[in-house]
Amino acid sequence: MNHTSYRIATVMLVTLTAPPFTFADSTTLSAGYGTGLVIKSDQTLFSWGSNGSGAYNYNYGLVSGTDTLQDLVSVSLGSNHVLALKGDATVWSWGSSSSGQLGNGTAGSGTTATTPVQVYGLSDVVAVSAGSAFSIALKSDGTVWAWGSNNYGQIGDSTTTDKSVPIQVEGLSNVTAIDAGGSFALALKGDGTVWAWGSDHDGQLGDGYDTHRYSYSSTPIQVTGLSAIKKISAGNAHALAVDASGNLWGWGDNAYSEINATGYNNYNVYTPVQIAVAGVAPYIDVSAGSTHSLALRSDGAVVAWGRNNRGQTGQNDDQETEQPTAVSGIVDIQSISAGSDFSLALTRNGTLYAWGYNDSGQLGQRMIDSNSHATPVAVLGAPLNINDEQTGETAIAASYQNNTLSIPVVETTTDDGVTHRYHVTMVPRVNFGGDISFSISTIEELE
């Protein structure tokens, strides 16, 4: 439980508290560019963080269009848009459609949808993934479909022309999993091989050709040297995979050690390499963020490595994490998601943890702050209360809007026995280590 203590008029000592939100029976979460989403047990969508391009909802609660967003199966956050897959195998989207990434036939600068719209012509979909201004979907027949920005061939149709409605990716069949990255995409086939297309600027296609680093492939090519793969994840410009033995693999951008490839010293990795990790339990999942990486062990432990300037690897510092290192303070994790510069982890009992940057409220602390949480904190849910520290009882009901805590009435008694009543507003900040502190913004004495 996050809390902070302070004195008002040097008389009443109080504590601000907010219990963690419980997402019991939830398994699907997504961390994006300053935003978090999780599907609740009732298959509705809960969001917090940035509201860029109408894609997200900073105010805690259900995303706009809740009549449409029922019976959700999965959700994926892109750079400025969202995809949602429903139980009827249809796909819905909202946010920016500047490059046609909503898939409803609209495109152009300033084109947005602030409520969900149905992606045109798609049915029998089993998985979706949102990248940077483009989208991909996997159908039950093993084919992959894509739409949106295509400047690096990320639609996979042998062209570099944007598409505002879904088109089938060429040359792919028997696909079992997909993931969209910054400007490239991955597909896992039933035979355990991995295929990639789009930008190859940093070697993220994994074909071993460093001459491609300023190029792209507009059709899928096989990632070199991988077999028996079970999980894949595409980051901004690097990729991760888990094989059937629980080993981790990585390739692509390694500028901040997000691949942890021995001997590469922050240089790009053009062919997959096995990532050396501590611990005896096999790894069962991975998540590639913008420039950092997460991996989940079968025993529920999480390790992180890569860029850590915002505390996104959860090591209680801001130094680059060169080796996969356990994230302390969280156990029994079932799902992970690495965002732009923050991370999410969901426990089996439904507690959701976040760490990293909080400039858009993406840590779920009911506040926006330019500092960082370098260790995990529980995403908060219930309304904030002011509790008397001596009795433990709620003393004052407080409201929180526009990043300001408003306390309607505070009564204090001065040394001469006179009682005064005040309306107090306070502004929060998150200190680097994760502690929350408040400073008084205004004090207005009431009649």
What span, in angstroms and rounded, lies between the C-alpha atoms of 390 and 67? Answer: 45
Same domain, 406 and 309: no
HEC readout, 245-293: CCCEEEEECCCCCCCCCCCCCCCCEEEEEEECCCCCCCEEEEEECCCEE
Same domain, 119 and 263: yes
Domain boundary among 327, 361, 395: 361
Same domain, 66 and 136: yes
Same domain, 273 and 350: yes
Residues 6+ apart with CB under 8 A from 305: 257, 258, 260, 292, 293, 313, 321, 322, 323, 324, 325
What span, in angstroms and rounded, lies between the C-alpha atoms of 127 and 155? Answer: 16
Query: Within 13 A of 378's CA, how many CA atoms are on the CB side?
Result: 20
Same domain, 258 and 403: no
Of 122, 136, 133, residue with least CA distance to 188:
136
Per DSSP, what are the bridge partners of residue 187? Answer: 178, 195
- What is the reported pLDDT for 208? 86
- What is the reported pLDDT for 443? 60
What span, in angstroms and rounded, lies between the C-alpha atoms of 339 and 256? Answer: 15
Indicate whether 73 belongs to any domain. Answer: yes
Of 11, 110, 4, residue with least CA distance to 412:
11
- pTM (2 decimals)? 0.81
Same domain, 244 and 345: yes
Indicate whether 345 belongs to any domain. Answer: yes
- What is the reported pLDDT for 370? 72
Per-residue pLDDT of the chain in tens (447 residues, 90 and over written 9):
333 333 333 223 333 444 556 666 666 888 887 778 888 777 777 777 776 544 444 344 445 454 567 888 888 988 889 999 999 999 999 889 999 999 999 999 888 888 899 999 999 999 999 999 999 999 999 999 999 999 999 999 999 999 999 999 999 999 999 999 999 999 999 999 999 999 999 999 999 876 555 689 999 999 999 999 999 999 999 999 999 999 999 999 999 999 987 667 678 999 999 998 866 789 999 999 999 999 999 999 999 999 999 999 999 999 999 999 999 999 999 999 999 899 999 888 888 888 999 887 788 776 677 778 899 988 865 334 444 334 444 334 444 444 455 555 555 555 566 666 666 665 555 444 444 445 555 666 666
Same domain, 230 and 263: yes
What span, in angstroms and rounded, lies between the C-alpha atoms of 297 and 332? Answer: 10
What span, in angstroms and rounded, lies between the C-alpha atoms of 225 and 53? Answer: 40
Domain count, the chain: 2
HEC readout, the chain: CEEEEEEECCCEEEEEEECECECCCCCCEEECCCEEEEECCCCCEEEEECCHHHCCCCCCEECCCCCCCCCEEEEEECCCEEEEEECCCCEEEEEECCCCCCCCCCCCCCCEEEEEEECCCCCCEEEEEECCCEEEEEECCCCEEEEECCCCCCCCCCCCCCEEEEEECCCCCCEEEEEECCCEEEEEECCCCEEEEEECCCCCCCCCCHHHHHCEEEEEEECCCCCCEEEEEECCCEEEEEECCCCEEEEECCCCCCCCCCCCCCCCEEEEEEECCCCCCCEEEEEECCCEEEEEECCCCEEEEECCCCCCCCCCCCCCEEEEEECCCCCCEEEEEECCCEEEEEECCCEEEEEEECCCCCCCCCCCCCCEEEEEEECECCCCEEEECCCCCEEEECEEECCEEEEEEEEEECCCCCEEEEEEEEEEEECCCCCEEEEEEEEEECC
Indicate whether 222 belongs to any domain. Answer: yes
Indicate whether 24 belongs to any domain. Answer: no
Indicate whether 370 belongs to any domain. Answer: no
- Residue 427 lies in domain: 2-16+384-445
Domain boundary among 361, 392, 412: 361
What span, in angstroms and rounded, lies between the C-alpha atoms of 190 and 147? Answer: 23
- What is the reported pLDDT for 106? 92
Same domain, 6 and 109: no
CB 324 within 8 A of CB 277: yes
Same domain, 401 and 254: no
89 CB burial (10 A radius; 0-12, 13-18, 19+): middle
Indicate whether 12 belongs to any domain. Answer: yes
Indicate whether 21 belongs to any domain. Answer: no
Same domain, 177 and 227: yes
Same domain, 107 and 181: yes
Same domain, 206 and 334: yes
Domain containing residue 160: CATH number: 2.130.10.30
Indicate whether 25 belongs to any domain. Answer: no
